[in-house]
Amino acid sequence: MPTPAYAAQAPDAALAPFTVTRREPGPHDVDIDILFCGVCHSDLHTARNEWGGTTYPVVPGHEIIGRVVRTGSHVTRHQAGDLVGVGCFTDTCRTCPNCRAGEESYCEGGISWTYNSQERGSGERTHGGYSTRIVADEHYVLRIPGNLAPDRAAPLLCAGITTWSPLRHWKVGPGMRVAVMGLGGLGHMGLKFAASFGAEVTVISQSPSKLSSDDAAMKAAKNRFDFILNTVSAPHDYNRYLQLLRLHGNMTLVGIPPEAIPVRANILVGQRRSLSGSLIGGIRETQEMLDHCGLHGIDCEVETIPMSYINEAYARMLRSDVRYRFVIDLASLK
């Protein structure tokens, strides 16, 4: 199916109208009319080949909300008319230990990312949600609770699960002191989730100028936190923040600075602290996260934009000029 989209054709090219070909739905596929797609920093990094490995043309977008148009003959989880979501990956090997444990984001057998990747089997390029339709295997399509506004739910598919998963894995709950570093698309969701789990939450600004003027506050917060969710992807000194952890405290990285950052062993040893990392989350826990959001009325703070605004949105993201996520209204492309 020829499908309208927006693509980058080169690292230094603005995103522009493009047509992708979506596959005809197979027996296990769901054909989705895309309503909204969140704009993640990964989209920008990939469009501009900042991580290397981008194959052009590339259609970004992995915070997809849409409505099921039709389903393959074997599909049991979704039906036409359902509000559904697609996140960062649309297929995995399903046989490796991690897939079998429901930890598909750590698949060892080859993951099909939602864009700039290949479909398993066919080897066709994958293209993301800056488009009007997507076809995906039902196992990788999530149910969206009906009480959530579709545009405000879109960023849950990446920013939401990326912060939810480590908070759950390390059992953040009542009585725990949690710090969230960086108040962007990820950080603001980490803040909402940690608070909904009953933790006492502090936000540590990512602005370097602010941090350097806050030495007194940093000193006062030494040995204070049980858990730090570090969403900052700009280079910064981990040691400075590890010292804020109390005995057995853990700092988890979900942001990926471009360069290696040295960690001093004495800071980890001193209070038996841990430094860890976390990548997105599995399908089962993504559904748990969405159901929790439906139950507690949790969604994302968004600025909804037309598709044609995407290049301006990227420029504003680089200035941190968004509270806290841009979401594309795909009606603007239909």
Identity of the residue, 44 or 158, whose beta carbon is nearer to Zn ion in the bound complex: 158
Identity of the residue, 16 or 96, whose beta carbon is nearer to Zn ion in the bound complex: 96
Q: Binder to Zn ion among 54, 92, 112, 165 (CB under 5 A)?
A: 92
Site for Zn ion in 159-218 (CB under 5 A): none
Query: Does residue 107 bind Zn ion (CB under 5 A)?
Result: yes
Near Zn ion by CB under 5 A, which window of 99-107, 114-122, 139-147, 187-195?
A: 99-107
Smallest separation, CB 92 to Zn ion (Å): 5
Identity of the residue, 25 or 281, whose beta carbon is nearer to Zn ion in the bound complex: 281
Query: Does residue 117 bind Zn ion (CB under 5 A)?
Result: no
Near Zn ion by CB under 5 A, which window of 53-61, 150-158, 220-228, 295-303?
A: 150-158
Identity of the residue, 25 or 184, whose beta carbon is nearer to Zn ion in the bound complex: 184
Binding-site size for Zn ion (CB under 5 A) equals 9
Classify burial at 318, counting beta carbons within 10 Å of its beta carbon; exposed 0-12, middle 13-18, buried 19 or more. Answer: exposed
Site for Zn ion in 34-63 (CB under 5 A): 40, 42
Identity of the residue, 34 or 40, whose beta carbon is nearer to Zn ion in the bound complex: 40
Query: Does residue 96 bind Zn ion (CB under 5 A)?
Result: yes
Query: Does residue 233 bind Zn ion (CB under 5 A)?
Result: no
Near Zn ion by CB under 5 A, which window of 100-108, 115-123, 135-143, 179-187?
A: 100-108
Query: Does residue 158 bind Zn ion (CB under 5 A)?
Result: yes
Query: Does residue 306 bind Zn ion (CB under 5 A)?
Result: no
Instruction: Say if residues 81 and 68 touch (Cβ distance below 8 Å).
Output: yes
Query: Does residue 93 bind Zn ion (CB under 5 A)?
Result: yes
Identity of the residue, 184 or 249, whose beta carbon is nearer to Zn ion in the bound complex: 184
- What is the contact surface with Zn ion in residues (CB under 5 A)? 40, 42, 92-93, 96, 99, 107, 109, 158
